[in-house]
Chains A and B, each alone.
Chain A
Amino acid sequence: MASGSTTPIAATARAEASPLPGLIKDAGLFALVTLGLCVPIVSYRTDLGQGIGLVITSRWGTVFALCAAIFVLRFLQQLYLGGRDRRRAARAPIAVVEGASRLGAILAPITLGIALTLPLLAALGAGSLGEGRYWIDLGILILTYVMLGWGLNIVVGLAGLLDLGYVAFYAVGAYSYALLSTVFGLSFWVCLPMAGLFAAAFGVLLGFPVLRLRGDYLAIVTLAFGEIIRLVLINWTDFSGGSAGISSIPRVSFFGLPFTAGESGFAATFGLAFNPMHRLVFLYYLILVLALVTNLVTLRMRRLPLGRAWEALREDEIACRSLGIDTTITKLTAFALGAMFAGFAGSFFAVRQAFVSPESFNFLESAIILAIVVLGGMGSQIGVAIAAIVMVGGPELLRNLGFLKAVFGEGFDPNEYRLLLFGLAMVAMMVFRPRGLISERTPSVTIAERGR
């Protein structure tokens, strides 16, 4: 990592001065450290044996394979970095920015096109709508995360407030619908806006006391808040059903028409043959519309004075205050708006699953959503969408690839490695491309001279 802290010029000079032996020595050092880190946590696996106590088995083969992999990776990385720094020195950095946003501009309509026609594509690809079910389910899952990512993007990407308890608002939305529908028998379409409002209210409630805190303290307090919500949901059994959760939540209806085979059902009313897939396709378009609304609101907000104030706040809070921007109101609106979208997504989650439990709203979920926002390049809409597709859809696709099983053995499950890779990707992102993978986060307005 030495090259990360030195200037490109110094790195170039060093790469030229010490070619191969230096690189091998450096990579060897990395492999050696890896070896040290793997002892004993990788080299000896503990398992519960037949009797009492643990049984240990040694796995030095894995350790040496890991060390060799690190050696090769580091070697290639240094080779590449040496070349890249030399190329960089000859090129203005602004060109990179333009190239990146052009990529975003190409990807956006393609992604949207695929998203709009996914049920059709799935039906055509798999033969019938029923057989395309897997793809539509996956699409719903990805879009839920896209929506959550866009919602959190308002808070983290635009306003620059690191929120580690975002999943709390998601939980508030889910439980609002679950409770309102099971206890009071309210319909989904009444509960959806209410869930958003409840979540927004929670956002304001949390926001008021904590928003004067500095960045990382704010992050920790939001984390604590998210955990408190989860612990209360687990322990307050009378209210939330405890860790068993709430089940048999009413299903979604087509604006009042239920998706049933009966006379008054959706299919009969429109003269279609009954197909259980109708509900799924409807759910797919519902989350797509919700996500697109989130996106649209965000894009419009960025043009309003309030949205500009968010971005200004992200860049420099003290300057903002000096210019007379009310930082409390500005932060609070970002918080409330982000929370509201999480509330919508939450009630969608509840209506899709027909079951909610505190399990679904742990810190890891917050971390995944945050990872999506970070990897998408905080503030970039298309970046967040692509990151959600890659991070949620990617492991699902990997699971079905047969050759991975052939390489790593029959018991290989890529989902096990999903979060491990999430973590690594977050670190790598901060180290190598802190401004985002797909797109750069650029201010909505810039003074003309700065763009040159």
Chain B
Amino acid sequence: MEFFAQQFINGLTLGSIYGLIAIGYTMVFGIIGMVNFAHGDVFMVSAFIALIAFLILTTWLGLSSVALVFLIVLVVAMVLTALWGWAIERVAYRPLRGSFRLAPLISAIGVSIFLSNFVQVVQGARNKPVPPLVRDVIVLYQNEQYTVTLSYKQAIIMVTTAVLLAGFWYLVQKTPFGRAQRAVEQDRRMAALLGINVDRTISLTFVLGAALAAVAGTLYLLYYGVVSFSDGFVPGVKAFTAAVLGGIGSLPGAVIGGIIIGLIETFWSAYFSIEYKDVAAFLILIVVLIFKPSGILGRPEVEKV
């Protein structure tokens, strides 16, 4: 039971990160119906931005306040990654509207290959470790054999995720931008006729998705303390699995899916085999896509002529 509780906490932490990335997939899919294959690599780029920002702050500027460093790194990563998201949409996806069906996906694969190799070229292929920012743990429960702990890192990850999701939820549900976004999602042409700037709304969607991926990237770096140029692919696929599992196009679905994937992965590693943990995620993806492509909260898709 103690072991289970500990794994539950670990899974929840991992799931928060997946959920944040999954929102980027689900929003983009909802609004322009494409699988943004490069999103995992945007997440990886953001982790690198966070890494460099962290190093500059701590080694060059000598900041020692953990909270301040974390906040600055988070904001810097969000802003710069959002710029990446904007630029990618502008260069690689926007010119393809109205092109043939698979064009955006192929372009996105190109962006994904470009990003990971770009980072490999400019930052080198080695793993990049950072010293842990916080080490303390909160002991939740203790007996002779086992201790259940919640580390500060995990607490920071869960709290940051919850706060940002609340803010994001407000943005999509209550603000003019959110209304515009949902309108474009439902009917792009009608939205344009009603005076919504469709291009701008789509751009902003990418910017928001990238910013949330940057949060995930920063938290990932905080949690694992290491990042490499190839770290975008597997978390990207898992987050996409989360988005599909939750029902692609649905924002709460993405978060729920992320948490489920995080939990399944953690329990699978803990109780079955750690070698096959990625296989578990891929199998879930295949099974969900085949048997319930609309996911948990998604709407069934009707194919129109």
Residues of B within 8 Å of A37, CB to CB, are 80, 83-84, 87
Closest-CB distance, A106 to chain B (whole angstroms)? 27
Residues of B within 8 Å of A56, CB to CB, are 52, 55-56, 59-60
Residues of A within 8 Å of B303, CB to CB, are 214, 318
In whole angstroms, what is the CA distance A427 to B114 when docked?
9
In whole angstroms, what is the CA distance A429 to B92 when docked?
10
**Known contacts A36-B83, A45-B123, A220-B35: does B293 contact A227 (CB below 8 Å)?**
no
**Known contacts A54-B55, A426-B113: does B83 contact A40 (CB below 8 Å)?**
no
Asked if B305 is at the interface of the complex by the 8 Å CB criterion, the answer is yes
**Known contacts A48-B126, A370-B109: does B102 contact A224 (CB below 8 Å)?**
no
The answer to whether A221 touches B285 (Cβ under 8 A) is yes
Closest-CB distance, B106 to chain A (whole angstroms)? 6
The answer to whether B289 touches A160 (Cβ under 8 A) is no
In whole angstroms, what is the CA distance A228 to B281 when docked?
10
Residues of A within 8 Å of B282, CB to CB, are 224-225, 227-228, 231
**Known contacts A210-B289, A431-B95: does B90 contact A370 (CB below 8 Å)?**
no
The answer to whether B289 touches A220 (Cβ under 8 A) is yes
In whole angstroms, what is the CA distance A4 to B121 when docked?
29
Interface residues of A in 222-264 (CB under 8 A from B): 223-225, 227-228, 231-232, 234-235
Asked if A434 is at the interface of the complex by the 8 Å CB criterion, the answer is yes
Residues of A within 8 Å of B305, CB to CB, are 318
**Which of these, B51, B87, B237, contacts A227 with CB under 8 Å?**
B237
**Which of these, A40, A209, A363, A431, contacts B107 with CB under 8 Å?**
A431
In whole angstroms, what is the CA distance A213 to B285 when docked?
13
Smallest CB gap from A223: residue in B:
B237
**Which of these, A160, A214, A420, contacts B114 with CB under 8 Å?**
A420
Smallest CB gap from A416: residue in B:
B121
**Known contacts A33-B83, A216-B105, A370-B106: does B111 contact A40 (CB below 8 Å)?**
no
Residues of A within 8 Å of B293, CB to CB, are 213, 217
Asked if B119 is at the interface of the complex by the 8 Å CB criterion, the answer is yes
Smallest CB gap from A431: residue in B:
B95
Residues of B within 8 Å of A219, CB to CB, are 35, 102, 105
In whole angstroms, what is the CA distance A214 to B102 when docked?
11
Asked if B45 is at the interface of the complex by the 8 Å CB criterion, the answer is yes
Looking at B105, B120, B301, B303, the one whose CB has the most chain A CB atoms below 10 A away is B105
Binds A, one of B139-147, B159-167, B260-268, B272-280: B272-280
The answer to whether A220 touches B122 (Cβ under 8 A) is no
**Known contacts A216-B35, A217-B293: does B113 contact A42 (CB below 8 Å)?**
no
Looking at B53, B112, B199, B289, the one whose CB has the most chain A CB atoms below 10 A away is B289
**Which of these, B56, B107, B126, B301, contacts A426 with CB under 8 Å?**
B107
Asked if A205 is at the interface of the complex by the 8 Å CB criterion, the answer is no
Asked if A97 is at the interface of the complex by the 8 Å CB criterion, the answer is no
The answer to whether B106 touches A162 (Cβ under 8 A) is yes
**Which of these, A1, A160, A422, contacts B102 with CB under 8 Å?**
A160
In whole angstroms, what is the CA distance A363 to B113 when docked?
10
Asked if A53 is at the interface of the complex by the 8 Å CB criterion, the answer is yes
The answer to whether A434 touches B105 (Cβ under 8 A) is no
The answer to whether B128 touches A419 (Cβ under 8 A) is no
Asked if A410 is at the interface of the complex by the 8 Å CB criterion, the answer is no
Asked if B149 is at the interface of the complex by the 8 Å CB criterion, the answer is no
In whole angstroms, what is the CA distance A235 to B275 when docked?
7
Interface residues of A in 96-135 (CB under 8 A from B): none
Closest-CB distance, B84 to chain A (whole angstroms)? 6
Interface residues of A in 172-223 (CB under 8 A from B): 209-210, 213-217, 219-221, 223
Smallest CB gap from B126: residue in A:
A48
Residues of A within 8 Å of B55, CB to CB, are 44, 46, 54, 56
The answer to whether A40 touches B49 (Cβ under 8 A) is yes
Residues of B within 8 Å of A431, CB to CB, are 91-92, 95-96, 107
Asked if B179 is at the interface of the complex by the 8 Å CB criterion, the answer is no
**Known contacts A36-B80, A221-B286, A367-B113: does B94 contact A4 (CB below 8 Å)?**
yes
Asked if B135 is at the interface of the complex by the 8 Å CB criterion, the answer is no
Chain B 16-48, CB-CB to A under 8 Å as 1, else 0, gives 000000000000000000110000000001001
Looking at B83, B84, B103, B285, the one whose CB has the most chain A CB atoms below 10 A away is B285
In whole angstroms, what is the CA distance A419 to B122 when docked?
13
Pull 13 A–B residue pairs with CB atoms less than 8 Å apart, ordered by A: A36-B83, A41-B49, A210-B286, A220-B240, A220-B244, A235-B275, A318-B303, A367-B109, A422-B117, A424-B114, A427-B91, A430-B103, A434-B100
B residues in contact (CB < 8 Å) with A: 34-35, 45, 48-49, 51-53, 55-56, 59-60, 80, 83-84, 87, 90-92, 94-97, 99-107, 109-115, 117-124, 126, 128-131, 199, 233, 237, 240, 244, 273, 275-276, 278-279, 282-283, 285-286, 289-290, 293, 301, 303, 305
